[in-house]
Structure 1
Amino acid sequence: MEANLDLISTLPQEVLLHIVSFLPLKEAVRSSILSTSWKSLWTRNHVHLDIGSDGIAANHEGVTQVIGEILRSYSCPEMQKLCLEFSKTGNEPDKLTLLAAKGVDKELHLDFAEEQQATRTFHLKLEHPSNQLPEIPSFASLKILHLRAVSHLAENMLPAVFSKFVSLEYLKLENCIGLQCLDIKAGGSLKSFSVLDCPDMADLTLSAPNLRSFSYRGALPWIQLKNVDNLAYVMLDMADGLGQNEFDCEVLLSLLASLKDVEILSLSGWLLEWLCSAGVIFRQLEFRFSKLKELSWIESSIDKPRRDSMADFLDICPSLERLFINIDRGRKSFACPHFHQFWHEPYFGMDYTTLKSSSSQAKHLKFVKLAGCSNQEDELHLLDILLKKSVVLQSMIVASAANHSWQVVKIPLSQLRLTTRRRTKQIATRLSPNKDCYFGFIEEENRSLSPFHELRRMT
């Protein structure tokens, strides 16, 4: 292996550049550790721009010209280090440093992580002016933009650069400390938008007429989605809890209503739990997730309020076909507050039998997977509810934290012996919470026939 690397490293630089041109940008960057020859592929002279006392807002032309030069060709990956310096009267000059990495798939990564100065909160408004052609032609071909660790020093410069990317299809913002308000008004080309781990985010407004995918991970902000009628996939992973805003049922329900036409939805379970604890009854809402085919429910554990809130939410997902329940015990858990006023009358006082009988059937649900299962009583209650609600279920799988999987089937008390006798592999069983049936657990690697099909033949 080392001999092959030594041999490749002796090739001319233009040949090495041609080799890395076939790699995704991340892999191309990693190739720099192979040898000194590979590292030199990424060595570029630092670009120093003296912005002057007027600041970046008045002198962003130099930045756009440099980035335009970087984007002049996508024949091979390239990286530049931009050092921007502008003076302030009576103070030390501010310095803004960013790494600009270009990939062959028409992508650009702008990383501000080398900025060492303490950041403060800031707002960011990124907009594509309608019917405006870019002054620098190389900007028009960019498809993917990844912004990482943006600081307040780029608050004025970044919008000027962003406005040039009129053909942008994929946009991601990540680890932007201090970013408090984000306002995106994108053109018709933007298809995918992600905001990940921006801890100070309090307000997010998004307008993108042809957007298909929207992902958010972090603390709960106020999210306003405008002109996003083509959304198909949405992830709302509020892994960091409530954030800076108070919990507002109307605001959150308005957000959910704006997502009623999505086909794939992933969201944090505590959002549903808190809504129900505040008195929201999903079955009484005016909207339904009529097009939703796949739902992922993310939580740190399952208890009765979380279980019941999800069961109620399923009643407004009439077309659901696939349900993924992801239990990650390493995630933060957020205690539900006490609500003094209720949006509706809370229903968590229902007993288990009443809850099951009041739930509507999931007429199209074919596949259920519970990942992170610990075989606790509340998890068995959830399995019981889902098996009762499902009409055409073809597969229910539970997986432990160690990723060991079992197929689950509901076995009537009278059929237990016949079921175990007719199978070549023994079925591990457990009495249901209501003691009216058994749950059969069949190891995935030992399953030759769907237990749902076999059980239907026997009964």
Structure 2
Amino acid sequence: MSEQRPDIISSLPLELLLYIISFIPFESARLTPFVSTRFRFVWSQALVVAHSHNGSIEAISRFIHNFNEHDPSKNTRKMELHFDKSTFVSTILAPNNVMHMSFIFSDGSKREESFCWRIEINKQIPRRVESKGFLVKTLCLDSVYSLTHEVVSSMLLDFSLLESLKICDCKGLTSLTIDSPTKLLHLSISGCTKLRYLDIRSSKLKTLHYQGFLPSIKIHEHFNLTSAIFDVRRGPSYCNNAFDDIGHLLLIIKNSQSLTLCRWMFEELIRPIISSSWTSFQFYKLHELRWIDNSMKQENINPLISFLKLCPSIEHVFITIDSNTYSSNEELSVDSDHGSKHARVLKNLKLVVLEGSKNEEDTNQLILALQEIVNSDQPLRVLSS
């Protein structure tokens, strides 16, 4: 048996290892902790340019403003700023103008004190013109809480080029207002378990990705999304199933090319309004649908077929079966085949993928239902995994 060769690289001095990592692309460098125990320690120390106690958000602003993109050793940097003995913020400046900002607590908990948050992005006159430093175009915010949301909002006033905003795991957030009249193109929200109200004013928005309980959504301006994700399998968060702005929501997703939707959202919110007043409504540009349900029993297949009849350009359908998905307990007195007003034959449907279903009979029922709405001369693949 041959002897194992010594790990020469891991034995190098810390300063040299940190310098080497600084030249590695960020997406590769962040995998170094999996190399060895030694490299886990190295990565924890890598490119930390500040580590202060009782600091302020101004230190982060200086950190961003003083970034030198022409120095290879500073192309990927991290800053740890302690607010108190139990909380610090980790800020990483990644390639492609991406900034990650996470609030971390030494006890591993998530702060859940309730708070309302208003975010203003890209005002017509930026508070400060970014003439140098790191230009933030994508901002990922993790675990912002009641004592830090105001300072984060203040910092965002300086990000005049921000195009993409991702907010996740803000456990205490109950109400969120996004006001971006100019450049915000992409908005993603996930893991905000207390969120009840979402207020959006952003006429340029192209993608809206939401995961969690569905809040009451208020839309102030009409805009057309190309991609919309409503992974709301946990159900509604608003009281008494009241959703007053579904009409505006339908307008912004009407021309989407890609859409993720739960059956319950279609049955409770969308189908009642198109059955009663929007009888000619269709998703004309929808090419890809991701449908989430708790089973593929016949009573659940019918709403899916009804929805597909509203999508004359549909090409690909991906169905996710999650037994924990919310399902309404109410009897819905709506037309079970609203789509009959539209063309029964889907000329472009090529692929249907069913994920998570272990019942072969349900799969066969789905295939039979699909065969009734597709062109008999058209090859349709139905895959189950």
Give the TM-score, by structure 2 length: 0.83
Q: 1:161 to 1:393 in 2, by over 3 A?
A: farther
1:405-454 CA-to-partner distances (Å, cap 9, x unmatched) read xxxxxxxxxxxxxxxxxxxxxxxxxxxxxxxxxxxxxxxxxxxxxxxxxx
1:321-342 CA-to-partner distances (Å, cap 9, x unmatched) read 211112234xx23241326xx7
- Report the Cα offset of residue 153 of structure 1: 0.6
1:76-115 aligned within 5 A: 76-84=75-83, 96-114=87-105
* 2:335 alignment partner AA: Y
- Report the Cα offset of residue 34 of structure 1: 4.4
Match of 1:259?
253
1:216-252 CA-to-partner distances (Å, cap 9, x unmatched) read 0000101234446342111100022122433236533
1:142-177 CA-to-partner distances (Å, cap 9, x unmatched) read 122110111001121111111111112221111110
Give the one of 212, 217, 224 matched to 1:223: 217
Match of 2:379?
394
With 370-379 and 117-126 compared, the bigger mean Cα shift is at: 370-379
- Give the unaligned 5+ runs of structure 2: none
1:426-445 aligned within 5 A: none
* 2:77 alignment partner AA: E
Give the one of 316, 326, 334 matched to 1:334: 326
Residues in 1 aligned to 2:118 and 2:313: alpha-carbon distance in whole angstroms: 37
1:23-58 CA-to-partner distances (Å, cap 9, x unmatched) read 35743676795435554424554223466xxxxxxx
Give the one of 119, 123, 132 matched to 2:116: 123
* 1:259 alignment partner AA: I
- Report the Cα offset of residue 286 of structure 1: 4.3
Match of 1:381?
365
With 299-308 and 230-239 compared, the bigger mean Cα shift is at: 299-308
With 231-240 and 21-30 compared, the bigger mean Cα shift is at: 21-30
Residues in 2 aligned to 1:355 and 1:261: alpha-carbon distance in whole angstroms: 18
Larger radius of gyration: 1
* 1:298 alignment partner AA: I
Residues in 1 aligned to 2:21 and 2:339: alpha-carbon distance in whole angstroms: 63
Give the one of 339, 354, 371 matched to 2:355: 371
The alignment of Structure 1 onto Structure 2 pairs a total of residues equal to 373
Q: Contact 1:191 / 1:212 at 8 angstroms: preserved in 2?
A: yes
1:189-208 aligned within 5 A: 189-208=183-202
Match of 1:447?
none
Residues in 1 aligned to 2:313 and 2:291: alpha-carbon distance in whole angstroms: 16
- Report the Cα offset of residue 187 of structure 1: 5.4
Residues in 2 aligned to 1:22 and 1:263: alpha-carbon distance in whole angstroms: 31
Match of 1:65?
62
Q: Contact 2:234 / 2:325 at 8 angstroms: preserved in 1?
A: no
CA root-mean-square deviation = 3.5
Q: 1:396 to 1:160 in 2, by over 3 A?
A: same
Q: 1:357 to 1:216 in 2, by over 3 A?
A: closer
1:414-453 aligned within 5 A: none
Identity between Structure 1 and Structure 2 (%): 22
- Give the unaligned 5+ runs of structure 1: 52-59, 86-93, 401-459
Match of 2:297?
303
1:93-129 CA-to-partner distances (Å, cap 9, x unmatched) read x975211122133221111131758531111111121
Give the one of 12, 17, 20 matched to 1:16: 20
Residues in 1 aligned to 2:58 and 2:49: alpha-carbon distance in whole angstroms: 21
With 131-140 and 205-214 compared, the bigger mean Cα shift is at: 131-140
* 1:10 alignment partner AA: L
Match of 1:236?
230
Higher RCO (CA 8 Å, separation ≥ 6 residues): 2
* 2:112 alignment partner AA: T
* 1:363 alignment partner AA: K
* 1:396 alignment partner AA: R
- Report the Cα offset of residue 260 of structure 1: 0.2
Q: Contact 2:255 / 2:285 at 8 angstroms: preserved in 1?
A: yes
Residues in 2 aligned to 1:346 and 1:78: alpha-carbon distance in whole angstroms: 56
Match of 2:8?
6
- Report the Cα offset of residue 361 of structure 1: 2.0
Q: 1:177 to 1:355 in 2, by over 3 A?
A: closer
- Report the Cα offset of residue 196 of structure 1: 0.8
With 189-198 and 129-138 compared, the bigger mean Cα shift is at: 129-138
Q: Contact 1:143 / 1:169 at 8 angstroms: preserved in 2?
A: yes
* 2:128 alignment partner AA: P
Residues in 1 aligned to 2:224 and 2:7: alpha-carbon distance in whole angstroms: 48
Residues in 1 aligned to 2:136 and 2:213: alpha-carbon distance in whole angstroms: 30
* 1:321 alignment partner AA: E
Q: Contact 2:165 / 2:186 at 8 angstroms: preserved in 1?
A: yes
Q: Contact 1:49 / 1:84 at 8 angstroms: preserved in 2?
A: yes
Q: 1:192 to 1:204 in 2, by over 3 A?
A: same
Q: 1:37 to 1:204 in 2, by over 3 A?
A: closer
Match of 1:41?
46
SS of residue matched to 2:306: helix
Q: Contact 1:143 / 1:168 at 8 angstroms: preserved in 2?
A: yes
Q: 1:147 to 1:276 in 2, by over 3 A?
A: closer
Residues in 2 aligned to 1:2 and 1:175: alpha-carbon distance in whole angstroms: 44
Q: Contact 2:214 / 2:235 at 8 angstroms: preserved in 1?
A: yes
Q: 1:228 to 1:111 in 2, by over 3 A?
A: farther
